Amino acid sequence: ESGVITIDPGFKNTGSTQSAITFLDGEKGILRYRGYSIEELAEKSTFLEVSYLLIYGELPTPDQYQEFTKTITNHTLVHEDIKKILEGFPSTAHPMGVLSSLVCAQTAFYPASLDPNRAAPEVDMSIIRLLAKMPTFAAWSFKNQIGHPVNYPDNSLDYCSNFLKMMFATPAEAYEVDPVVANALDKLLILHADHEQNCSTSTVRMVGSSHASLYASISGGINALWGPLHGGANQAVIEMLENIKKDGGDTKKWMAKAKDKNDPFRLMGFGHRVYKNFDPRARIIKKAADDVLAKLGVNDPILEIAKGLEEEALNDSYFVERKLYPNVDFYSGIIYRALGIPTDMFTVMFAMGRLPGWIAQWKEMRENKEPIGRPRQVYTGYNERAYAPIDKR
């Protein structure tokens, strides 16, 4: 009706679009990418194959997959001017801030506003370039933070192995990628690849709705993901578990803090806007954490603290009533840590995983010719009043 405006803070009951990419059932804990279950994809697919599926809608044929992965490999190098931008950042810069800047800086090299309805190669090349360069940007944001020289991509390696080598190799010694680590990382990226209209994806769609470039839209998504209520939670979970460990592992005390309305502390990694049952990704990651730590011979005491916290929360009426379960961020940090990924890089890993989903959603929004996002408001400020000169105030 004209004139009636309903306010829906956080859009808890507002649908922003129609999408054929990802299906969630929050009650049943179901997650599917283009109809394929997350359980099957995590078990049988690869991150680049899932990226192709999300962006182009179908699993690739062998030729399509070969072409896709080869083209990505051939675009991992970034313009040397990007390195100059990187060198401008202090080592105190958080990798997420560096990453969103480098991604946005790509607009300096490519068409500002890409119209998917124009020649396909233009859009496809932008997508390829972004998928190809993200690991390079991510690894370089880490090298900047620790004051080490960057590593150039090694096109003889697969996607995750190349990233790990750029992250951890130093000129001082040889570096061999551990396939267990590369495989675990590939699975984690699959689990983060898309999640319908979450905060960062809605941001990518909003920025893209003004016909800003794919790079500028993704840069917006990276910044939205950074918040501790969203992708930043995986870093906040580890910091919380470390605090509990320092505090003698007293999980009961921290549970009480999480339930105390006067205490701003929340149990990070718990709760979800859509999942009112188990987050299916949390189940898979929890099992993977046991497998990967065992394979790597890592015994991390905070894994036991995390399991203890989960056990208590699942039997605590406050959490049960509010249907608060572990979400994707609760166990992921424990695996990242076992893989040698530093805590400040956890949300960067989330961004690397979510990239194909953001791209797919941006492409769908543009192909569907969706209008620029521009919500209304209910005004609650002053009625009209006359200007008072400063000597009369």
Catalytic, 329? Answer yes
Q: Which residue from 78, 255, 267, 339 is in contact with ligand SDX, where contact means CB under 6 A?
A: 267
Residue span binding ligand SDX (CB under 6 A) among the ranges 84-92, 127-135, 147-155, 223-231: 223-231
Residue span binding ligand SDX (CB under 6 A) among the ranges 75-83, 172-180, 260-268, 381-389: 260-268
133 binds ligand SDX, rule: CB under 6 A: no
Query: CA 286 to CA 331: how far, in whole Å?
Result: 6
327 binds ligand SDX, rule: CB under 6 A: yes
Q: Which residue from 268, 303, 352, 355 is in contact with ligand SDX, where contact means CB under 6 A?
A: 268
Question: Which residues face 25 on adjacent strands?
Answer: 30
Q: CA-CA distances (angstroms) from residue 249 to 220, 254, 309, 361, 378?
A: 38, 9, 10, 42, 47
Nearer to ligand SDX, 228 or 340 (CB): 228
229 binds ligand SDX, rule: CB under 6 A: yes
Nearer to ligand SDX, 186 or 329 (CB): 329
Residue span binding ligand SDX (CB under 6 A) among the ranges 15-23, 39-47, 176-184, 323-331: 323-331
Do 158 and 182 touch, CB atoms closer than 8 A? yes
Residue span binding ligand SDX (CB under 6 A) among the ranges 108-116, 169-177, 226-234, 364-372: 226-234
Burial (Cβ within 10 Å: 0-12, 13-18, ≥19) of residue 296 = middle
Nearer to ligand SDX, 145 or 332 (CB): 332
Catalytic, 291? Answer no
Q: Which residue from 324, 334, 345, 355 is in contact with ligand SDX, where contact means CB under 6 A?
A: 324
Q: Which residue from 272, 286, 337, 363 is in contact with ligand SDX, where contact means CB under 6 A?
A: 272
Burial (Cβ within 10 Å: 0-12, 13-18, ≥19) of residue 153 = buried
230 binds ligand SDX, rule: CB under 6 A: yes
**Span 177-196, contacts to ligand SDX by CB under 6 A:** 195
To the nearest whole angstrom, how small is the minimum distance from the Cβ of residue 135 to ligand SDX? 20
Question: Which residues face 173 on adjacent strands?
Answer: 170
Query: CA 120 to CA 100: how far, in whole Å?
Result: 25
To the nearest whole angstrom, how small is the minimum distance from the Cβ of residue 80 to ligand SDX? 34
347 binds ligand SDX, rule: CB under 6 A: no
Query: CA 210 to CA 370: how far, in whole Å?
Result: 10
Q: Where are the alpha helices (DSSP H) in the chain?
A: 38-44, 47-56, 62-73, 80-87, 95-105, 120-146, 159-168, 179-191, 199-209, 214-225, 233-246, 251-259, 280-296, 301-314, 317-321, 328-338, 346-367
276 binds ligand SDX, rule: CB under 6 A: no
Query: CA 55 to CA 45: how far, in whole Å?
Result: 15
Number of residues that bind ligand SDX (CB under 6 A): 22
Residue span binding ligand SDX (CB under 6 A) among the ranges 164-172, 173-181, 227-235, 300-308: 227-235
**Would you give the binding string for ligand SDX spanning residues 232-251, x where CB under 6 A is met?**
-x------------------
252 binds ligand SDX, rule: CB under 6 A: no
Nearer to ligand SDX, 266 or 283 (CB): 266
- What's the token pair of residue 110? 């490519």
3-class DSSP assignment, residue 368: coil
**Residue count (the chain):** 393
Nearer to ligand SDX, 177 or 224 (CB): 224
Residue 359 CB contacts under 8 Å (≥ 6 apart), including other chains: 51, 54, 55, 127, 130, 131, 214, 218
- What's the token pair of residue 170? 């130093």
Do 83 and 150 touch, CB atoms closer than 8 A? yes
To the nearest whole angstrom, how small is the minimum distance from the Cβ of residue 192 to ligand SDX? 7
Q: Which residues are catalytic?
A: 272, 329
Residues that bind ligand SDX (CB under 6 A): 10, 195, 198, 229-231, 233, 258, 266-274, 322, 324, 327-329
